[in-house]
Amino acid sequence: MTADERKDARLHIRLTPSQDRALSERARAAGVTKTDYVTAALEGTVLLPAADRDLLRALLLELARQGNNLNQVAHRLNALSRVDPLGCADAIASVSESQAARVEAYRAVRDALSSERRART
């Protein structure tokens, strides 16, 4: 939908009471109206419960902080006239472990979103 499109079309559907409850619960968990929930499903948008969104925001903030710290370390190392590569071995190993953990976390979030999207279709 483009920004200048208006939502003029209406849709009337019949649901069982249990389907209506399920739709209401999912929309409430995602923090949107039933209309917005159905529209998001139509557009293939993944809607996460508020708790999951908060967790992802916290994870992204932590990743940004770690990236900032890594940049500060790299900047200081570049500013030194002499750097002992052997002396940096522990730091390099730590950065490698951190990167591997970030990749694993990213894949876990991606897989969770994929399975949630498949479950909704």
pLDDT tens string 61-80:
787 788 778 778 777 777 77
Within the chain, what is the greatest distance between any pair of CA atoms? 73
* Tokens describing residue 101: 């953990």
Angle at 69 between CA 67 and CA 92, to 5 degrees: 85
Buried b (16+ CB within 10 A) or exposed e, 17-39: eeeeeebeebbeebeeeeeebbe
Write out pLDDT tens, residues 34-63.
999 999 888 888 787 777 777 877 877 787
Nearest Cα residue to 102 out of 66, 68, 58: 66
Q: How many CB atoms lie within 10 A of CB 1?
A: 9
Q: Is the pTM above the cut of 0.85?
A: no
